[in-house]
Amino acid sequence: MSHLIIAEHLYRYYGKLCAVDDVSFTLSKGEVLGFLGPNGAGKTTTMQMLCGNLAPSAGLITINGYDILDKPKSAKLKLGYLPDTPPLYRELTVNEFLHYCARLHRLTRGHISKAIETAKERCGLREVANRLIGNLSKGFQQRVGIAQAILHNPDVVILDEPTVGLDPIQIREIRRLIRELGQDHGVILSTHILPEVQESCTHVQIIQHGKLIFHETIEGLNRQMKTSILQIKTRRPADFNTLKAIPGVLSIEGQPENITRIHHDNTQNLSEHITETVVRLGWGLLEITEMKQSLEDVFVKLTESSRRDAS
């Protein structure tokens, strides 16, 4: 499979501050990549480099085979971009704005009408085509922003926080649109909304302190989330080797005051087996608690681990 985006060993310095530190990844057609990161992690800087708005201090970016520094015009023709604040002219109608954007994309006159109709159809804008953009709801304005990003049928679509400020129904509609775009394009979705990654994306990567600390398919992420934690508190210290020998137990984590955390596959219910083991061996069971991992748990665990490693 040929890659639409290849980013290799990207660095970006602001003076002595390294905002992006040796970031590498690829994006292919049919993939929707969720790009996550806390504020100040280097996410926006990376997005700006991918779009050609900011030159990397070092590294390589190609968009469908075109080096974005050597052949910026050819590379950017393959890109569609929606910033976090859509670049809309509120005094224009949807049709007028999309016609203006088509001219900016240098579509030929013979292709403009078809391109506009296709974008309106994909983004659900036909019913508001003749309305002023300034009179549309935030959800429809986001749709107009996405329409201008896909108007020229680019290979890569980059969406920065596309559902911020939308109501739940609008969010659901935009997520559905993103999944549909992912079938014909390569899509990068920047977001702080963790469930959005599970709803819309095929892959996820997390950046922290300028470094990629996690890159995985959604299936791989879900496998991580299938790990549950069973926490027990006992009068006497538990024997870790005995607990590790129980089928389904993945790892053991000791805590103060005879508290033990048992990481296990949540497809198995080990509470009864572990309770029987603790009672039979006379460790004195005081408490047993099941703790399932959420996407937020995985995110916090990864970013906190990265923060400790950096300090």
pLDDT digits (tens, 9 = 90+) for 251-292: 898 999 999 999 887 767 788 899 999 999 999 999 998 876
Domain 226-310, what fold?
Alpha-Beta Plaits (3.30.70)
Per residue in 153-195, pLDDT tens? 999 999 988 887 788 888 888 888 899 989 989 999 988 777 7
Residue with more model confidence, 7 or 38: 7
pLDDT value for 127: 94
% the chain with pLDDT above 90: 60
Mean pLDDT across the chain, nearest whole number? 89
Which residues are 159's β-sheet partners?
Answer: 82, 189
Residue range 3-217, CATH number? 3.40.50.300
pLDDT beyond 60 at 110: yes
pLDDT given for residue 222 in this prediction: 72
Does 35 have pLDDT greater than 80?
Answer: yes
Residues 92-101: what's their mean pLDDT? 97
Q: pLDDT of 203-233, one tens digit each?
A: 999 898 899 988 888 887 777 666 678 899 9
CB 188 within 8 A of CB 8: no
Angle between helix 138-150 and helix 109-123 axes, rounded to 10 deg: 140
What are the start and end residues of each CATH 3.40.50.300 domain in the chain? Answer: 3-217
Instruction: Give pairs for 261-266: CB < 8 Å, separation 24+.
Output: 261/229, 261/230, 261/231, 261/291, 262/229, 262/230, 262/231, 262/232, 263/227, 263/228, 263/229, 264/227, 264/228, 264/229, 264/230, 265/226, 265/227, 265/228, 266/226, 266/227, 266/228, 266/292
Q: Where in the chain is the domain with CATH 3.30.70?
A: 226-310
Express each pLDDT in 75-91 by its tens digit. 999 999 998 888 899 99
Q: What is the pLDDT of residue 293?
A: 64
